[in-house]
Amino acid sequence: MNLVTSLKIADILILASARVKSTGMKVKSKTSIWEYTNFTMAAFFAILSCAGVFYAVQNYGISSIMVKLIFDQIAFFIPVGVTFSCIIFAVFYEFNQSTFNISLDAINWLPISASDYVLGSSICTLYFSLPILGLAYGASLILALMTNSLMVWGLSLFLGIVGGLIGGFATEILRALTNKASTTLFKKGGRASIIGRFILYMVFLSAFMIIFNSVVILQIAEWFNIVAGGAWFFPLFWPSLAVLSLQTNDLLMSLVYSSLSLLLAGIFFVTGSKIRERNWVPEPVSSVISSAETLKPLATSKGFLGFGRVEAKIIEKDFRGLIRRRELMVYLAVPFIMIIISIVSEGLGVLFDPAAHPTEKVGLFGNFGLGVIYLVYFLSIISIGQEGGAAINLLTAPIKPSNIARAKLISALILPLIIFALMILSIIIIVKPDTSLLMLSIVFGLSCITETSEVGLILGSRFVDYNEVPRARFVRPEGIIAGIIVVGMILLSNFATLWFAEDLELGVVTVPAQALMIAFLGLILNIAFLKILPSNIKHGLEKAPI
Amino acid sequence: MSEAVSLKEVSKSYGEIQAVKDLNLNIPTGIVYGLLGPNGSGKSTTMKMMLSLVKPDSGSISIYGVDPQKDPLAVKRMIGYVPETLRLYEFLTSWEYLEFLCVIHGLNPSEEEPRIKEFFEAFELKGHENEMMGGYSHGMKQKIAIISALLGKPKLLILDEPLSGLDPKSAKIVKDLLTELSKEGVTTIFSTHVMEIADAICDKIGILYNGKKIVEATPAEIKKMANVPGSSLEQVFLEITGSSELKPIVDALIGKSDKH
Ligand SMILES: Nc1ncnc2c1ncn2[C@@H]1O[C@H](COP(=O)(O)OP(=O)(O)OP(=O)(O)O)[C@@H](O)[C@H]1O
Ligand SMILES: [Mg+2]
């Protein structure tokens, strides 16, 4: 292992994506420290949260006991929180490596040792979580100063970084394992193997995200009647337990857990390097579909569902991509993971509780609905960027942006709408709500789903990232964050109409009025978004690499 | 002369498609070896197997005595590679990229600077060092790829259509460079579709067809194989890959486009 090489690799991975901006190719003077914007952002967030917390404590008369309590909780949660957020981030953002052309990325043929790469890549992951770290550490620093617990804060900072690296290493293990799986299992090609690979990846990703999900872990701990402090049986909690021990002045245990955490990081690192060494590149997927099953076009010459031929072709292409491109599969896996996690954490008991009000039962489906929103959000926000180097085809094809917009909307909507329909069906079967509540659910769901798809497409075009090496990301991080904020606002404004309902507590919703309000809001938003969509798509496509 | 590269009965298939079939290659150290063949004949696949990017189904490969599957890192250290599809890191400047490669190859970037400058001078890239590579023309990117391959002073160069997109002057420089390097003992394997280039610089040529090696000889020997004496390499190539009778094909193509 060579730290200089690892840092250089991290540097290249960071710069190659941090520079993706709308301004196009510029002449650069020498790289300056200001290009590493996440350091500045982290510092900014740290100061902001520091000041914010200070102001809040001063002005809202929060007692010192309370301050201590809050600090203890934050300091405990940081290491484990950083680990999990690094994993989530990495799976979403760092995992996206195109399998189709392994000779695209110089990393694969340069003499880079597996361990240098694993460390470099994990440092890069950590770098991208810096702003969140800044927020957490800023807030906790001021609390630490107030409660005189700088030691605890320092340990929490250090172990947070260790936790982040563990998260990065874990992702490398997952990446290498999927490389291995696709090499060993799916040599033959053909439709069966494409589908097999798809299912395997989904299972892999879901299992991974669930294993590394804190909600699930804590839930399991609860099932086993273990308090958080006793979560020693789950190694990813060790860094946090080290902090907890120091808080309770148990220096010995703190030392033990700290050492265990470092050991754990070491084990993850060695495992990641070893697995990667043996499975450096995914075998190029055999893109051959056996001659017996030649492509049967979904789209006929007349088009599809009343759409023109070209639009239908785009939709068809997008669908094939979803099950064939590994870098896209993660976006399909997430909603299912969310549904599973919400089932694990909330249970399904309320559904079969005769005393529970229908609204409550339908509300439970809201959790699943959030999964659908995630799905439609990600499918639409990556929709333009996933064209990658081929985007030029859309730009030069004789199609109007409004037709591309339609096709892209449909391909982002079909799957979520099918799932939504199934959800409504299960609501009807399980909850048996009255017509008005059912109507409200449908209008609410449709409204949120369509609006989200439009926002996703708009921001996905605005913040498009066509780069395919070193990572295929499809959209810049600012875009994802902006989108989450906008979609959050949309969901809230849809919810806001519910607040006007009388006696919501009792579940007596004045439904027709409710549904009308949502429908009206949805109509306005949909029209507005659809209006600005084509020009945004055009703008995004014009940035296509030529 | 010792062997730089040797392939024994190497096969690789993708599903039903046999990309490479029972291929035997013995490439001595220090020669320029031209890998020719029609599209889809298995040239790139063969090269990727040498680099450990693709795992052969059967057979064995040795690069200076090392098996790429057993010790990929050692093999990668010996090889400079130009891939057929170029995808440079668009948002890095070429200088940043080459500096990165220096670190990877364990070289000191500031010590290598004069050498890189010479490359830039020769390829008329001067003044573009601090531009992001995404803004480069196709030929400029190709030049960077060639410089990258040479930077680590490799013993073996694997160049997949390295001259595509290069202007005549730069192409000439690369050709001269390969001849020079060969004198210093560097082995080069390269693929091309331009027969004159192969004729001019190759010590030996192997022609692949449907994943099989059908001919291996020096350019002069290959030219003698023609039915008509005094044929060019291109004519012989078309003859042995069974595509010399092109007139009916061309006619059919024109006839087809006439109807539209
Ligand atoms: N990932 C893959 N999946 C399926 N088939 C592949 C894959 N990669 C290569 N092939 C097939 O292997 C065969 C050999 O391809 P290869 O790229 O080696 O040809 P080539 O000689 O380099 O052609 P060209 O002159 O066009 O570059 C082709 O038939 C190709 O279709
Ligand atoms: Mg090729």
DSSP string across A119-169: HHHHHHHHHHTHHHHHHHHHHHHHHHHHHT-HHHHHHHHHHHHHHHHHHHH
Of A342, A336, A343, A345, the residue nearest A223 (C-alpha): A345
- Which DSSP symbol is given to B92? S
Could you tell me what percent of chain B has a pLDDT over 70?
95
The set of residues, in sequence order, having a beta carbon less than 8 Å from that of B67 and lying 6+ positions away, is B60, B61, B75
Contacts of residue A114 in chain B, CB cutoff 8 Å?
Answer: 73
Is A122 domain-assigned? yes
The ipTM value here is 0.84
pLDDT digits (tens, 9 = 90+) for A126-172: 888 888 888 888 988 998 988 888 999 999 999 999 999 998 898 88
Report yes or no on A474 lying in a domain.
yes
Nearest to A96 by CA among A320, A257, A303, A321: A321
CA–CA dist A436, A359 (Å, integer): 11
Whether A333 contacts A201, CB under 8 Å: yes
- Half-sphere exposure of A381 toward its Cβ, with a 13 Å CA cutoff? 26
pLDDT on residue A426: 87
In a domain, A62, yes or no: yes
- The top-scoring range by mean pLDDT among A470-479, B30-39, B132-141 is B30-39
Q: A110: which chain B residues are within 8 Å (Cβ-Cβ)?
A: 76, 101, 104
* Ligand 1 surroundings by CB, under 6 angstroms: A 284, 286-288; B 14, 17, 19, 37, 39-45, 84
Test B96 with A111 for CB contact under 8 angstroms. no
Q: Do A412 and A503 sit in the same domain of this protein? A: yes
The reported pTM is: 0.81
B195: nearest Cα among B24, B41, B38: B38
Pick the atom of ligand 1 nearest to B15's CA.
Answer: 4
Give the β-pairing of B58-63 and B3-14: antiparallel
| A89 belongs to a structural domain | yes
Assess whether pLDDT exceeds 70 at residue B109: yes
Counted domains in chain A: 2
Instruction: For residue B98, give its domain range.
Output: 3-258
**Which residue puts its alpha carbon closest to atom 18 of ligand 1?**
B42
CA-nearest residue to A193 within chain B is B15
Higher pLDDT, B32 or A505: B32
Q: What percent of chain A has pLDDT over 90?
A: 24
If asked whether residues A409 and A511 sit together in one domain, one would say yes
- For A408, the domain range is 303-546
Mean pLDDT along residues B177-202: 92
Position A305 scores a pLDDT of 54
Q: Which residues of A touch B90 (CB under 8 A)?
A: 16, 25, 467, 545
Nearest 5 degrees, angle CA A16-CA A18-CA A19? 75
Of A235, A257, A285, the residue that ends a domain is A285
Give me the pLDDT at residue B32, please: 95
Q: Which chain A residue shows the shortest CA-CA distance from B57?
A: A187
Per the domain annotation, does A320 fall within a domain?
Answer: yes
pLDDT confidence bin for A410, thresholds 50/70/90: very high
Residue A177 shares a structural domain with residue A89: yes
Inform me whether the pLDDT recorded for A99 exceeds 50.
yes
* Residue B140 confidence class, pLDDT cut points 50, 70, 90: very high
Is residue B226 within 8 A of residue B239, CB to CB? The reply is yes
Is residue A338 located within the same domain as residue A430? yes
Atom of ligand 1 nearest to the CA of B208: 21
Look at residues A65, A304, A344 and name the one whose alpha carbon lies nearest to residue A206.
Answer: A344
Give A301 to chain B, closest Cα distance, Å.
19
Residue A499 has pLDDT above 70, yes or no: no
Classify residue A30: in a domain, yes or no. no
User: How confident is the model at residue A296, as a pLDDT?
Assistant: 45
Q: What is the mean pLDDT of residues A412-439?
A: 88
**CATH code of B7's domain:** 3.40.50.300
Letter string b/e over residues B17-31, b meaning 16 or more CB atoms within 10 A of that residue's CB: ebbbbebebebebbb
Other residues' Cβ atoms within 10 Å of the Cβ of residue A278: 14
**A231/A327 same-domain check:** no
Q: Tell whether the model's pLDDT for residue A501 goes beyond 50.
A: yes
Q: Residue B106: which region, alpha, beta or left (left: phi > 0; alpha: psi -120 to 50)?
A: left
Both A235 and A330 in one domain: the answer is no
> With helix as H, strand as E and coil as C, how does A77-127 read?
HHHHHHHHHHHHHHHHHHCCCCCCCHHHCHHHCCCCCHHHHHHHHHHHHHH
pLDDT at B258: 47
In chain A, positions 282-301, which contact chain B (CB-CB < 8 Å)? 283-284, 286-291
Phi and psi at residue B163, to the nearest 5°: -95, 0
Q: How confident is the model at residue A102 (pLDDT cuts 50, 70, 90)?
A: low
> Which sign does the torsion angle of CA A380, A386, A391, A394 carry?
negative
In the structure, how many helices (H) and strands (E) does chain B have?
Answer: 10, 9
Task: For residue B190, give the H/E element and its range.
Answer: strand B187-191
> What is the number of domains present in chain B?
1
For tokens 């057979």, the residue is B59
Q: Are residues A254 and A333 in the same domain?
A: no
Which of B17, B54, B85 has the CB atom closest to A283's CB atom?
A: B54
Q: Is residue A338 situated within a structural domain?
A: yes
CB A76 within 8 A of CB A244: yes
With H, G, I as helix, E, B as strand and everything else as coil, classify residue A304. strand
CA–CA gap between residue A36 and residue A22 (Å, rounded): 17
**Cβ–Cβ gap A112/B77 under 8 Å:** no
The closest alpha carbon to A374, from A209, A531, A519, A218, belongs to A209
Q: Which tokens hold the place of A410?
A: 């449909």
B64 interfaces chain A, CB cutoff of 8 Å? no
User: Residues A131, A259: one domain?
Assistant: yes
Residue closest to A236 by CA, chosen among A72, A342, A81: A81
CA of A396 relative to ligand 2 center, distance in Å: 26
pLDDT at A500: 62
| Residue A92: other Cβ atoms inside 10 A | 17
Shared domain check, A331 and A273: no
8 Å CB contact between A76 and A161: no
Distances (CA, A) of A421 to A316, A414, A446, A450: 21, 10, 10, 14
Tell whether B40 is within 8 A of chain A (Cβ): no
Burial class (CB in 10 A: 0-12, 13-18, 19+), A23: exposed
Phi, psi dihedral angles at A353 (to 5 degrees):
-90, 115
- According to the model, what pLDDT value does residue A156 have? 92
What tens digit of pLDDT does each residue of B168-180 get? Answer: 999 999 999 999 9
Confidence at A331, pLDDT banded by 50, 70, 90: confident
Residue B19's alpha-carbon distances to A221, A538, B10, in angstroms, are: 53, 40, 10
Q: Residue A62 has what pLDDT?
A: 78
Report DSSP state, residue A303.
B
Q: CA angle, corner A265, sides to A263 and A268, nearest 5? A: 110
Please report whether residue A507 resides in a domain.
yes
Residues 6+ apart with CB under 8 A from A533: A402, A405, A409, A454, A457, A458
Beta partners for A307? A304
In this structure, the number of other CB atoms found within 10 A of the CB of residue A389 comes to: 16
Comparing A217-231, A424-438, B216-230, the range with the smallest average pLDDT is A217-231
CA A103 – CA A80 distance, rounded (Å): 37
* Among candidate residues A257, A285, A313, the one where a domain is terminated: A285
Nearest to A542 by CA among A374, A391, A441: A391
Contacts of A5 in chain B (CB under 8 A): 103-104
Joined tokens for residue A20: 């993706």
Closest by alpha carbon to A102, among A279, A240, A233? A279
Distance CA(B153)–CA(B155), nearest Å, equals: 7
Residues A244 and A310 in one domain: no
Q: Which residue has the tokens 């001021």?
A: A142
CA of A325 to the centre of ligand 2 (A): 22
| CB of A6 less than 8 A from some CB of B | no
Together in a domain, A157 and A11: yes
* The two structure tokens encoding residue A266: 């070491």
Angle at A501 between CA A496 and CA A503, to 5 degrees: 130
The CB-based long-range contact list for A321-324 (8 Å cut-off, 24+ gap) reads A321/A386, A322/A415, A323/A194, A323/A195, A323/A198, A324/A194, A324/A198, A324/A285, A324/A287
CA dist list (Å): A294 to A190, A285, A289, B39, B120:
10, 17, 7, 22, 49
Same domain, A268 and A412: no
Instruction: Determine whether the interchain pair B92/A109 forms a contact, defined as Cβ–Cβ distance below 8 Å.
Output: no
Task: Please count the other Cβ atoms lying within 10 Å of the Cβ belonging to residue A313.
Answer: 19
- pLDDT for residue A93: 67
